[in-house]
Amino acid sequence: MMNRLLYMVAALVLFSGCKEEYDFPLRSNDVSLLVVEGVLNAGNGPTQILLSRTMKLDEVVQFKPVLQAQLTVEGKDNTSKPLSSAGNGNYTNPNLGMTIGTEYRLRIKTTDGKEYLSEWLVARNTPEIDSVTWKRTPAGLTVFNHTHDPSNNSRYYKWDYDETWQINSVFPSDYVWVSGSTIIQGSLPSSCWKYGKASTIIIGSSAQLQSDVITELPAFFIADKSEKISVRYSVLMKQQTLSKKAYEYFSLMKKNTESLGTIFDPQPSELRGNIVNIADPSEIVIGYMNAAKVTQKRIFITAQQANWSYPQNCSNILIPNHPDTIRKYVPIYLPWGAVETGPGTVTDYYLSEPHCVDCTRRGGSPTKPSYW
Do 107 and 256 share a domain, yes or no? yes
CB-based burial, 152-173: b 16+ in 10 Å, e otherwise:
eebbbbbbbbebbbbbbbbbeb
Do 266 and 325 share a domain, yes or no? no
In a domain, 356, yes or no: yes
Do 179 and 320 share a domain, yes or no? yes
Do 40 and 185 share a domain, yes or no? no
Do 49 and 184 share a domain, yes or no? no
Number of independent structural domains in the chain: 2
**Tally: H helices and E strands in the chain:** 4, 26
> For residues 330 and 358, what is the distance between their CA atoms, to the nearest angstrom?
14
Write down the pLDDT at residue 265. Answer: 52
In a domain, 168, yes or no: no
Write down the pLDDT at residue 6. Answer: 44
In a domain, 23, yes or no: yes
Q: Which residues of the chain have pLDDT under 70?
A: 1-30, 259-270
Using alpha carbons, select from 65, 5, 56 the residue that is nearest to residue 34: 65
In a domain, 166, yes or no: no
Using alpha carbons, select from 148, 36, 40 the residue that is nearest to residue 100: 40
Write down the pLDDT at residue 17. Answer: 42
In a domain, 147, yes or no: no
> For residues 172 and 57, what is the distance between their CA atoms, to the nearest angstrom?
42
In a domain, 340, yes or no: yes
pTM given for the model: 0.87
> For residues 288 and 119, what is the distance between their CA atoms, to the nearest angstrom?
9
The residue range of the domain holding 355 is 175-189+314-362
> For residues 186 and 336, what is the distance between their CA atoms, to the nearest angstrom?
9
Write down the pLDDT at residue 299. Answer: 98
> For residues 146 and 144, what is the distance between their CA atoms, to the nearest angstrom?
7
